[in-house]
Amino acid sequence: MKLSSEQLKAFDEQGYLFFPNCFSEEEIALLRLEADNILKLDRQEVWREKTGAPRTAFAAHTFNPVFDLMAHHPRLVPPKPFTFGPPQAPRSRSLED
């Protein structure tokens, strides 16, 4: 996948890219189910509000096989080097993982 100039501009302005229809409805349903399961875990990567409600989960791809597959999926991986530059470029570690 090659990013268009509009996508690169949107990334520069917004800091993220949106790929509608990148994953099927079935794949999205599985990701939602896994996200719910992740937010129920007692892990340091799952941050909670004072009420105990989950706020966010960091680096789910490092401990969940479904999110690991998504993070390395060929539909997503090709834009990464193009957007973030070569691996030796100085970047935040979260962008390189």
Does residue 57 sit within a domain? yes
Does residue 14 sit within a domain? no
Does residue 37 sit within a domain? yes
* pLDDT value at residue 3: 80
Closest CA to 95 of 10, 24, 9, 11: 11
Does residue 85 sit within a domain? no
Does residue 88 sit within a domain? no
* pLDDT value at residue 95: 35
* Number of domains present in the structure of the chain: 1
**Running along the chain, 97 residues long, what does each successive block of 10 average in pLDDT?**
83 89 92 96 95 95 93 75 52 38
Does residue 76 sit within a domain? yes
The string of DSSP letters for 47-74 reads: EE-TTS-EEEE--GGGT-HHHHHHHT-T
* pLDDT value at residue 92: 41
* pLDDT value at residue 49: 96
CA distances from 70 to 3, 6, 53, 76, 77 (A): 19, 24, 25, 8, 9
Does residue 48 sit within a domain? yes
